[in-house]
Structure formats: C-alpha cells, structure tokens
Homo-oligomer: A and B are copies of this chain.
C-alpha cells in the first residue's frame, strides 16, 4: 500500500517546481551542478526516511556544515569558552559579511563565515588535519554513515576563497584565531567540501530534532543542552539576513548552503532536507525555500505550533478499588479494602515527561491526596530531569502527609537517585504486584494485616461457599503438586488440566506479544488460582504459566472434575455453581480494570 505521506510529498514537489534563481558560480566546481538536480528527504525521529527525487545524489555540504562544527566546538570546549570567541546575535548581514564586533573582533554568530571559521578552530586537535578528522567523523555520526571529502571541490575552493582568507587573517589580527590562519582556513574549506546526499542531511537534521540521538543508530551524538543552543542559533541566524522572515513564515530552525541544500528541524518531530542548486538573492536555494514554506504551512510544522504535551502525561487515573489484585481476599479483608481502597489512587503515566506533563501529574496527586498512590511509568519514554526532581519532591510531600507511592517501573526509567537506600520508593515490575502491596498496606493500616497464606488457600472462592459435604469431597480430590523455579506448569495450547490453587511460591502468566516477544501479564501468589479460564476457551489453555520461585499447588484435576460431575451430581452442582460465580467475578474484575484503562 502506498503511503499518503509519500503521495503528499510528491504532490507538493510537483507544485513547487520553480526554476527561479541561479546556480552558484563563485566556486568554479559548484557552477557545474545540474540546475535541475532535485531531492527532498523527510526523516522522522524514529529513523524512517521519505524521499522524493534523487536522494542519493551527492554534493558538498558547504554552509550546512556550520551548525555541526559549532556543536563540536561546544562539545569540546564548553559553552563559556566558545561564547568568549563567538557571539549568538543575529547580524542581519549577508553570509559573507565579516560582521566582527568592532572592539573585540568577536564574530556576531557561528552561522556567518567568520564565526564558522572560528568554530572550526575551536575543535579539539593538534592541528587543522587532526581537527578535520574529528569533524569528518562527527558529521558521520549525525548522518549514520562514514562520509568523505570531494577533493575537486576543495581544490577549486581553496584557491579562490579570497574573502574567507581575508576573514581568517582579520580574525588572527584580533587574536580570535590562534596559530596560522591558513591552517584554520584549510580546515574550514575542507569541511565545506564534505560530500553528502539529501538523505544524509535529513538524518543529520533528524538527529537534532531527536534531542541529539541519531534516529537510526540510536547513538547519542550531542547533549540536549548543546542541541538547544545549536537550534536556537539556527533559528535566529541560520537563514542569513532573512532570519525574522524565516522564523515567522517557516518557523523551523534551519541552515542553507551555497551548493543548494537546506536543512530544517522541527524539534521532537522531523528533520527535513531539500536540494535544488538554483539560489535566490540571499544565497538560499530558491526552490528549497519555497518547499519549506509550503510544508510548514500545509503540515503545520511551525515551532510555535506544538501539541499540548501535558494532556497526555496522565494516561489514566483511577481508585485502587477499581483494580483489585488477583489475590483473592477473605471476606473480612475484602470488607476493609472495600471501605478504604477508594482513597488510594493509581496513576498511569505515558509519553515523555517534560515540565508541563509532570506538573499535571503532581497536580492530580495533590488534588487527590491519596492515602496510597501507585505511579505506573511503564509507558513513559523519556524523563526530563525536572520531572525526576519534581517526582522526588512529590514523594517527600506524600510522606509528610503519611502517604506512600508504589512505583511500577520494570525498565527503571525513573532512575531514582535514592534507589537502594531506605528512602527509595517501593518498586514493582507489574501493576498487580503494586496493587497487592497497597492492599497489604491498607490491611496493616486499617485491619489486622494481610491474612496468612494458608487461610487464603482455605478461603478460596471456589471452596469457601461449599457445603461441608461438597468441601470434603473436593478436599479429598485435590492433590498437592510442586514445581521448581522456572518450570513450565501449563503451556500455552495445552488441554484444560484443572484448577490450580497456589499454596506457596509464585507463578507468572505470559502471552506472546504481537511481535513474538513474551509479554508478562501477572505474577500470582498464594491464594490465587489459575487454569480455570481454559473452560471458557474450548478447553484450551491460552497463556503460559511458569513457576517464578519453587511452587506448591493444590490441583483439582480435569479428571477429578469430570468424575465428580458424573458420579456426584449434588456435589458437582455446587462445584459448577461456585465456578460460574468465580468466572463472572473474574469477568467483572477484569472488565472493571478494562473500564478504567480504556
């Protein structure tokens, strides 16, 4: 099936087919470019690349190199050292203006040539050669492949670049550059001659859109704070003397190059690249600008147009009473829980936790002031530091109010700095275990504590309402069986093997997920039973049950059930009636958790 996104991109390329502008001629090798050469690439932050035109056509990166070298200078020297040499103010000047501060000679920003040559000189390395090698590898890390240099472009440019040579010497005069200015100049010109295609550029842009993590390789190339800095400078200075216009009309941090490329970044969403070598009077690709404006307008790709991220942070919020643990409680315990479980709350979080999202969470918790809380972060992708700190503050507030939050975080995304200490929150791998912990805690607070395991088994709903006669028949039929840790008790697909009540130890139920991985459903503890659901699925066991620890079970086998049904109708009637109730109870319990989570 064709993608409508692909279709859309093709249609706007067709509609924005302008042939305005001229191919750059001031570097002889650039003048040879096919004026009709064209490519568009859009890379998502999970690494899918849509392309139109010749996305594999190579050309020299030219000024699109500037933000990436600036990023490397920031990574190598830190903000303070770089800021001392290069300012971040828009110059309002054309790309080849010298734009140095009259007193210090400090270039106005790293997107003009003077700032870019200075940034190149700030890359760590003994000389221009070494520094260039680092630059080449660095760009490759953004593109996700090894890049190389177009020597013909370098040779052509290094001999004709009089203005940049003048700039380099002027920077040396002000001592903004150290060492021989030809060294920095050669390094800069070689960086401009690095050969890329439009797919590379889109992925380089998408790495910035993705907060510094390359979408395909998954490598963190750049720290978040440096990404923010680079994008800020691109937003205000990336498109030369039309920065205000660009940010109003297109609304994406961007950078253009004289060979005809443009990259644009929509943080958190996509990286874009366009190639068309005919340039407008500002030195930007004419068709590239036209396409970026069109896409921004059509696709609402404006930086200032963002989703309300806070709305989705709390995926669900419901009282503990709506999600009873699978542990079956004796009636007295259940009465305590019925009275108190409404005042404890489960919060399911979701997505990336930024400030607004975590504020939403905190406000919900503060409003509820729950006796106990469960914070389920299994669906959280990324946690900003502010979220981590705020959640820690929330924990302190909860404790001050006599409350406690149990955390469901099997992947450890919260990275609690107190983990391992007695300040740590109770942590669980699944919701049911957290619910069970909260219920036990409520029973300690409001009752005599959780009932012991033997009582839980004796009081199992399948057994507790039976007449003494029926009970003694079933007790006699039930056999004790044991399994060692990790052993499979019931495999998916096997025939109904009876009802199994856990006496000691724990077992886990798993299914196969859509992608073939094992999905953990629930951990079951003493007093819980399993196996009976197969009665509802034509006698076929639909989950795999495995012993987590050494496990002792009471089993009422399928054969026993059949025998009782055939031979002792009165007892069987009680047994089946108890199972009918148990089945509907399970259906109700599960439906209830379903209501709150759908």
Q: A residues within 8 Å of B by Cβ?
A: 1-5, 7-8, 44-46, 48, 87-90, 92, 109, 210-211, 224, 227-229, 231-233, 235-237, 242-245, 247-248, 251, 253, 266-270, 298-312, 315, 317-319, 350-357, 359-360, 362-363, 365-366, 369, 381-382, 384-386, 389-390, 393-394, 396-398, 400-401, 403, 431, 511, 514, 519, 521, 532-537, 542, 565, 569-570, 572-573, 576-577, 579-595, 597-598
Contact = CB atoms under 8 A, between A and B. Distances in A.
A584 B300 contact: no
Q: Interface residues of A: mostly helix, strand, loop or mixed?
A: helix
Contact of A3 (B224, B397, B536): B397
Given A298-B386, A386-B299, A536 B585 contact: yes
A434 B2 CA distance: 25
Given A228-B302, A300-B385, A303-B303, A396 B4 contact: yes
Copy number in the complex reads 2
B3 A366 contact: yes
B570 A44 contact: no
A362 B268 CA distance: 18
A318 B1 contact: no
A536 B362 contact: no
Contacts of A593: 594, 598
B109 A244 contact: yes
Given A4-B394, A299-B355, A300-B386, 9 more contacts: A44-B359, A211-B305, A232-B251, A236-B244, A306-B354, A312-B351, A350-B350, A536-B584, A576-B577
Q: Which 5 A-B pairs have the closest CB atoms?
A: A583-B583, A4-B393, A536-B584, A536-B585, A307-B352
Contacts of A385: 300
Given A245-B88, A535-B580, A594-B597, A311 B351 contact: yes
A577 B235 CA distance: 70
B268 A248 contact: no
A385 B301 CA distance: 11
Given A88-B248, A92-B90, A576-B577, A536 B356 contact: no
Nearest to A572: B573
A382 B536 contact: no
A348 to B, nearest CB: 8
